[in-house]
Amino acid sequence: MKSFFSHLAGVKTAACLCYTASILAYGAVCLAMGLETVEVMMVFQLGLVCLLCGAIQYILFSGAVVRAMPYGRRVALALPAFLAVAAGAGVLFSWFPAADWRGWAIFLAVFLAAFAAILAGFEIYARITGQRYDALLARYKEEHGEK
C-alpha cells in the first residue's frame, strides 16, 4: 500500500507540473488571440490530459516503474503514448476539426514542436544537474583521497 501511494504521489507531481505549464500556455495563447478569459471546460479537459500524461511520464521516466531502459527507448515509447493521449483528447473534446487534414497537420506540428521543446528542456536540466553532481562527486573524492 505504501508503494501505491508513493507511485500516486509521483504521478501527481508529474501531472501538476504538466498542468501548470499547460494552463500557462493556454492562457498565453488566449491572450495572444485577444481573449481575456479561458473556457472552464478547457481547464478540466487539460486537467484530464495532464493526469494521463503525468502517469505516462512517471511510468517511463521516474525510474520507479521502468528501471533498466535506455533514455532513447523511453523517448521512443513516450512520443506515441503522449500523441495518442493528445490526439484522443483533441477528437473527444473537438479541439480542432477532426475531419479536415489541415487541422491534423497543424495539431501534429504543434504537438511535435512542443514535444521537442520539452525534451530539450529536460536534456538541458539533466546536463546542468549532472555537471553539479559530477563536481560534488569530484570534491568528495578529493576530500577522501579517492581517484
Question: Is residue 7's pLDDT more than 90?
Answer: no
| 42, HSE (Cβ side, Cα atoms, 13 Å) | 14
Per-residue confidence band for 81, with pLDDT thresholds at 50, 70 and 90: very high
Q: What is the mean pLDDT of residues 17-25?
A: 93
Question: Is residue 67's pLDDT more than 80?
Answer: yes
pLDDT tens-digit profile of 82-138? 999 999 999 999 999 999 999 999 999 999 999 999 889 888 888 888 788 788 888
Question: Is residue 71's pLDDT more than 90?
Answer: no
Question: Is residue 54's pLDDT more than 90?
Answer: yes
Assess contact for 85 and 52: CB atoms under 8 A. Answer: yes
d(CA 125, CA 127): 5
Residue of 91, 124, 95 whose CA lies nearest to 22: 95
pLDDT at 3: 84
Assess contact for 54 and 11: CB atoms under 8 A. Answer: yes
